[in-house]
Structure 1
Amino acid sequence: MDITALDYIVFFLFVGGVALFGCSFYFKSRKGSASFTAAEGSLPTWIVGMSIFATFVSSISFLGLPGDAYKGNWNPFVFSLSIPIATWLAAKVFIPLYRGMNSVSAYHYLEVKFGYWARCYVAVCYLLTQLARTGSILLLLALPIHNMFGWDITSIIVWTGVVTLLYTLLGGIAAVVWTDAIQGIILIAGAVACALILTFSMPEGPGQLFQIASEHGKFSLGSFGSSLAEPTFWVVLVYGLFINMQNYGIDQNYVQRYMTTKSTAAAVKSTLFGGLLYIPVSLVFVYIGTALFAYYTARPELLPAGTPGDGVFPHFIVHGLPTGVTGLVIASIFAAGMSTIATSINSSATVVLTDFVKQLSKKEVSDRQSMKVLYSTSFIVGALGVIVGLLMMKVDGVLDAWWKLSSIFSGGMLGLFLLGLVCHKTRRSHVVAAVICGLIVIAWMSLSPLINEGSPFYRFHSPFHTYLTIVFGTTVIFLVGFILTKLGKNTSKQ
C-alpha cells in the first residue's frame, strides 16, 4: 500500500499544527530573556518530562534502532539500561547543583571551579557540537523522507529548518518544551502502531514472529565476553553510562529544562519521568526491527532484493502500513527530528547570551538587548544548521568526519565536570594538562578508524571499539587532574 492523500493530510496537519502551536507562545516569550530561556520556571512537571524524553530521541533513533535490530539483535537496547543510573545521579547531584546556583547556563559551574577559560572552552565545544548535530539531523531526516515521498532533499532540509526555526524563534523555550511534549506523544503513538501492526500481520499469527526471531538469535543482548574491540554487552553498557551521564549531567539541552520547572523536586520528577520513559520506547524500537526481520523472512516477496538494513523500516512505512497510519508514522519521524533541532537552536542561543555576551560585556546587558541577542543568535544557529546539512550532501565523508569531530569537541566536557565535583581546589595548569591529555586520547580513538590498513600509521591505530572513546577520554581527564592535584598538595606541604 503506497502513500495516499490521507497520509499527506495527516502529515501536513501535524507539521502545520505544531508550527502554529509553537508560534502561539510568542506573547509569553517576549516578556523577557527569563521567559525566552527558562519560561520563568513555570512549566508543568509532566510537560518538561515529555520534553526531556523527546530531546533524547531523534529521527536517527526512530529509524536507526529498528535498522540495527533488523541487521543484528537487541544489543543497542543495552544502551538504555544505563539510563536509571544516569538519571539517579542527575537527581542526586546535578539538578540540586544547578538549581542552587540559579543559573540557566550549564557551564557557569565551571567558571566557579576553574575560571572563565573552562566555561568558555566547554561553551565553544557545545556550540560546535550543536551545529554538527543540527546539520546531521536535518540531512539524516531528509534522506528517508526523500525515499518515502520522493521530495527533493535540498528542499526538505531547507523547509524543515525554516519551520522549526520559526516557532523556536517566536516562542522561546516554552514553545520548544510544549511542542516537544506533543511530538513525543506522536512519536510514541507511531512506534506502538508499527509494532502492533507488524505483530498481527504475520501469516501464521504473532507466535510465528517470536519463533523466527528466536531461531535467528534476534533477542540476544550481545556477547558477554571481555573483548574491548567489539560492542559486547559490557562495552555498550559502559558507553551508555558515560553518554547518559554527559546528557543528563552537563548538556545544556537538559540543564535548561531543569530550570523551567517550579522547584527542584519538580525538576527531579521531570528528569526521572523523561529518562525512564525512553527505556520502554527504545524497547519498542528494537522490537520493531526484530518484527521486520520476522515479517520479511515469512514474506520475502514483499521486500525488494538488495534493500539495505536501514532501508527496510522506511520501505515498510510506505508499503506495509494502512492508509493514514503511514502519515502518522512519517509525522513521528519528523517530530523526532524537529524536536532535536528546536532544542539545539534555543539552547545554543542561551549559551551565546549567558556564557559570552553577558560575561564579556563591560556594561550590564539590559533585558531588551538580551532579547535581541537571543533572536539574532537563534536565527544564525538555525541558518548555519541548514547550511551544514546542505554541505554534508555534497562532500563524501563529511558526515562521518563531523561525528568524529563532535566526539572530540564534547569528549572533554564530562571529565572536566567530574574533576570539579571531586577536587575542590586545583591549579589551572593541572586542569589544562588533564584536558590536553584527555583530548589527545579522544582524538586518537576517534580518528583511528579513518586510517587504512595499508597505511604506515596503521600500527598506531586504536585497538578499542569507538564506543569506548568517551569512556577513556573522560577517565584520563579525571585521573590526570586528580593525580596532579594530589601531587601538588603533597609538594606544597613539604
Structure 2
Amino acid sequence: MKNLPFLDIAIIAIYLIAMVGVGIYFSRKNKSAEQYTKASGKIPGWAIGLSIYATFLSSNTFLGVPGKAFGGNWNAFVFSISMPFAAWVAAKYFVPFYRSTGEVSAYTNLEKRFGPWARTYAVVCFLLTQITRMGSVFFGISLTLQALTGFSMETIMLVTGICIVVYTVLGGIEAVIWTEVVQAILKTGGALLIMYLIISKMPGGVSKIIEIGQQNDKFSLGSFSLDFTTSTFWVVLLYGFFINLNNFGMDQNYVQRYHASSSAKEAAKSIWLCVWMFVPVSLVFFMIGSCLFAYYQVTPGLIEPIKLQAAAEHLGTAASQTDIANYAKTLQPSDYGDKVMPHFMVNMIPTGLLGLIVSAILSAAMSTISSGMNASATVFSEDIYKRYSKRKISDKQNMRLLYIGTVLFGLAGMLCGIAMIGVKSILDIWWQLSGIFAGGMLGLFLLGIISKKSGNTEAIAATIVGIMVILWLSLSYLIPDQYDFLRSPLHANMVIVIGTLSIYLTGATIAKFKSVKA
C-alpha cells in the first residue's frame, strides 16, 4: 500500500473542496430549469470550447491512451486525426440546425420527423452510451488511486462519485462548464508535466526514446492496407469520424453546450477550439506512452512489479506466488499497459507534484462524469418524464426532477465502473461499447436530416435492419465454431460505421424506391 505524503493529500483535498465550492456558488443562480440546463445562453464561446475539450480529455485519455501506446503504437491517434473532418460537418450543419430549433434536447426533432418511437430509441441509446462512458471513467480514476492509496476501487468510486454528484447537482450546466474550463488547463499542464518528468529521468534523453521507439515500431499509425478486419489506419479513421460525428451531432453533452453559447457563430467556434486543442494534446499522451515504454526498456527491473500485479489480478487470490511469477513471464506489454502510468506516478513523481498530477487526472474524470450526469438528467426530464408522464410541470418540479436524475445517473455510472473492474484496456472497452450504442442513433439522425423523403415507415424498417446488423457485428463471436463462417470478419471498431450506414442507406433507398414507383 502506498501512503501518500500529507502535502499531496492536502493538494487533492483542496481541489475536491474547490470543485464542490464552485457548485455551491452557482447554485445561487439556478432559479429555473432554463438556467440549470442552458445557463440562459450566456456562456462565451471560448469557455464552451474549453468545456467540450475537457469532456473529450477524460481519464480514459489520461490512462488508456498511454497504455495503448505503451502496449502497441500510435494507431489510436488516428482517432484524433479524424476530428477536424467531423468538426467541419458539425459546425456547418449541426450547430445551425440545433440553434434554429431552440430545443434543449437533441432528440426532439426525431419525434417530429418519425414519431415518438424514434425519439425514445435515440434516448435509450444515448443513456446507455453515457452510463458506459461514466463507468469507464470511474474505472480509470479508481485504477490510479488504488495504486496510490491501496483503497479498494469500489471505495474510491464512491468517494469521488459523491464529490462529483454534489457539485453537479448544485451548480447545473454553468458549474459544469466553468469547472471544466479550470480542469482543461489543469489536465493540459498535468500531461506536459508527466512527459517532462519521464524524459528527465530517461537515460539518454529524447534521442534514446526515439531510438527505442523506432526499433520497436512505436510511432506507427497502423497499416495503410484496405483491410477492415484489423485495426488499420482506415478502420480507426472511419471509427473516429463516425463517433465524433455522433459526439458533435447527437450527444446531448455537446448539443446542450450549443444552446449555452450566445450565438451560433460562438457555438461553431467552440467546436473548432476543442479540436485544435485536443489533437495536439492527445498526441502528447501517445508520446507519454512511448516515453514510458523506452524508460522501462532501459530499466527492465522496474517493470517486474507491474507484471506481477497484472498476473496476480488475472489468476486471482488463490494462485501461488510461483504460479503468479511464471504467468507474469508470459505477459506482453499490451496486457498491462493501463497499469504503467499509475506505477510511474507512485514511484517516480516527487511529493507535491504527485498531488497536482492526481488532481489533473481527477479533473479529467470529473469533467466527463459531471457533464454526462447533467446531460443524462436533462434528457430524462425532457424526453422521458415530460414526454410520457407530465408534459406541464412547474419550474420547481422540473428542478427537483433534474436533481434526482443527476443523482441516479451518477449512481448508474458508478455501478457500471464497478462492473468493468478487471478489463484489460479502458480505451478498448469504451470504444467497443460506444460504437455499439451510438451507431443506431447516428444513422437515424442522419436519415432524418439528409433524406427529406424518408418517413416513419422507412425509418422503422431502416432501424430494424440497423439493429440486426449491429447485433450481428457485436455478438457473432458467440456463434459456435462449427458455424464460424457466420461470424463477422470485421474489426469491432467497424460496428458504428456499418451500423450507421445500414440505417441511413436502407431508409434512403426505400424512400427513393417509393418515390420512383409513385
**C-alpha distance in structure 2 between counterparts of 1:313 and 1:340, whole Å:** 20
Corresponding letter in the other structure for 1:333: I
Q: Does 1:207 align with 2:207?
A: yes
Q: Does 1:17 align with 2:45?
A: no
Aligned to 1:124: 124
Deviation at 1:481, TM superposition (A): 0.4
Q: Does 1:471 align with 2:497?
A: yes
SS at match of 2:260: coil
Say which of 336, 339, 345 aligns to 1:317.
345
Q: Against the structure 1 CA distance between its residues 425 and 154, is the aligned structure 2 distance closer, same or farther, given a 3 Å change threshold?
A: same
Aligned to 1:265: 265
Aligned to 1:256: 256
Aligned to 1:377: 405
Contact 1:132 1:403 in 2 (8 A): no
Contact 2:472 2:488 in 1 (8 A): yes
What are the within-5 Å matches in structure 2 for residues 412-427 of structure 1?
412-427=440-455
Contact 1:2 1:318 in 2 (8 A): no
**C-alpha distance in structure 2 between counterparts of 1:352 and 1:463, whole Å:** 37
SS at match of 1:25: helix
Moved more, 293-302 or 273-282: 293-302
* TM-score in terms of structure 2 length: 0.89
Say which of 345, 359, 363 aligns to 1:331.
359
Q: Against the structure 1 CA distance between its residues 7 and 396, is the aligned structure 2 distance closer, same or farther, given a 3 Å change threshold?
A: closer
Corresponding letter in the other structure for 1:433: A
Q: Deviations over 1:1-21 (max 9, x none)?
A: 984222222222212212212
Q: Against the structure 1 CA distance between its residues 2 and 377, is the aligned structure 2 distance closer, same or farther, given a 3 Å change threshold?
A: closer
Q: Deviations over 1:437-474 (max 9, x none)?
A: 111111111123455xx633433111010111100010
Corresponding letter in the other structure for 1:353: S
Aligned to 2:328: none
Aligned to 1:357: 385
Deviation at 1:134, TM superposition (A): 2.2
Q: Does 1:489 align with 2:515?
A: yes
Deviation at 1:405, TM superposition (A): 5.9
**C-alpha distance in structure 1 between counterparts of 2:166 and 2:361, whole Å:** 19
Contact 2:462 2:507 in 1 (8 A): yes
Q: Deviations over 1:137-186 (max 9, x none)?
A: 22332122112221122211111111100010000000111111111111
SS at match of 1:24: helix
SS at match of 1:462: coil
Aligned to 1:56: 56
Q: Against the structure 1 CA distance between its residues 154 and 408, is the aligned structure 2 distance closer, same or farther, given a 3 Å change threshold?
A: same
SS at match of 1:262: coil
Q: Against the structure 1 CA distance between its residues 254 and 288, is the aligned structure 2 distance closer, same or farther, given a 3 Å change threshold?
A: same
**C-alpha distance in structure 1 between counterparts of 2:424 and 2:77, whole Å:** 30
What are the within-5 Å matches in structure 2 for residues 70-469 of structure 1?
70-304=70-304, 307=307, 308-361=336-389, 364-393=392-421, 407-451=435-479, 455-469=481-495
SS at match of 1:125: helix
**C-alpha distance in structure 1 between counterparts of 2:342 and 2:478, whole Å:** 29
**C-alpha distance in structure 2 between counterparts of 1:478 and 1:160, whole Å:** 40
Corresponding letter in the other structure for 2:270: S
Deviation at 1:123, TM superposition (A): 1.0
Corresponding letter in the other structure for 1:387: L
Contact 1:122 1:413 in 2 (8 A): yes
Q: Against the structure 1 CA distance between its residues 218 and 460, is the aligned structure 2 distance closer, same or farther, given a 3 Å change threshold?
A: same
**C-alpha distance in structure 1 between counterparts of 2:177 and 2:443, whole Å:** 29
Contact 1:49 1:270 in 2 (8 A): yes
Deviation at 1:395, TM superposition (A): 11
Contact 1:50 1:184 in 2 (8 A): yes
**C-alpha distance in structure 2 between counterparts of 1:401 and 1:303, whole Å:** 24
**C-alpha distance in structure 1 between counterparts of 2:3 and 2:282, whole Å:** 27
**C-alpha distance in structure 1 between counterparts of 2:429 and 2:281, whole Å:** 30
Q: Against the structure 1 CA distance between its residues 422 and 73, is the aligned structure 2 distance closer, same or farther, given a 3 Å change threshold?
A: same
Corresponding letter in the other structure for 2:192: V
Q: Against the structure 1 CA distance between its residues 274 and 216, is the aligned structure 2 distance closer, same or farther, given a 3 Å change threshold?
A: same
**C-alpha distance in structure 1 between counterparts of 2:189 and 2:365, whole Å:** 16
Moved more, 386-395 or 178-187: 386-395
**C-alpha distance in structure 2 between counterparts of 1:372 and 1:202, whole Å:** 54
Q: Against the structure 1 CA distance between its residues 78 and 159, is the aligned structure 2 distance closer, same or farther, given a 3 Å change threshold?
A: same
Contact 1:81 1:237 in 2 (8 A): yes
Contact 2:432 2:493 in 1 (8 A): no
Unaligned 5+ runs, structure 2? 308-335
Q: Against the structure 1 CA distance between its residues 401 and 436, is the aligned structure 2 distance closer, same or farther, given a 3 Å change threshold?
A: farther
Q: Deviations over 1:90-128 (max 9, x none)?
A: 110000000011111111221222122211211122122
**C-alpha distance in structure 2 between counterparts of 1:212 and 1:394, whole Å:** 30
**C-alpha distance in structure 1 between counterparts of 2:337 and 2:384, whole Å:** 44
Percent of residue pairs bearing the same amino acid type: 44
Q: Deviations over 1:38-67 (max 9, x none)?
A: 100111222111110111122111101101
Q: Against the structure 1 CA distance between its residues 487 and 142, is the aligned structure 2 distance closer, same or farther, given a 3 Å change threshold?
A: same
**C-alpha distance in structure 2 between counterparts of 1:172 and 1:292, whole Å:** 38
Corresponding letter in the other structure for 2:61: S
Give the superposed CA RMSD: 2.3
Contact 1:52 1:274 in 2 (8 A): yes
Contact 2:3 2:148 in 1 (8 A): no
Deviation at 1:272, TM superposition (A): 0.8
Deviation at 1:370, TM superposition (A): 1.4
Corresponding letter in the other structure for 1:326: L
Q: Against the structure 1 CA distance between its residues 390 and 294, is the aligned structure 2 distance closer, same or farther, given a 3 Å change threshold?
A: closer
**C-alpha distance in structure 1 between counterparts of 2:43 and 2:443, whole Å:** 31
Deviation at 1:253, TM superposition (A): 0.6
Q: Against the structure 1 CA distance between its residues 91 and 136, is the aligned structure 2 distance closer, same or farther, given a 3 Å change threshold?
A: same
**C-alpha distance in structure 1 between counterparts of 2:297 and 2:424, whole Å:** 34
Moved more, 200-209 or 384-393: 384-393
Corresponding letter in the other structure for 1:430: E
Moved more, 48-57 or 293-302: 293-302
**C-alpha distance in structure 1 between counterparts of 2:220 and 2:185, whole Å:** 29
**C-alpha distance in structure 2 between counterparts of 1:428 and 1:265, whole Å:** 33
Contact 1:83 1:276 in 2 (8 A): no
**C-alpha distance in structure 1 between counterparts of 2:482 and 2:224, whole Å:** 34
Moved more, 282-291 or 6-15: 6-15
**C-alpha distance in structure 2 between counterparts of 1:441 and 1:293, whole Å:** 39
**C-alpha distance in structure 2 between counterparts of 1:450 and 1:169, whole Å:** 41
Contact 2:377 2:402 in 1 (8 A): yes
Corresponding letter in the other structure for 2:461: A
Deviation at 1:362, TM superposition (A): 5.7
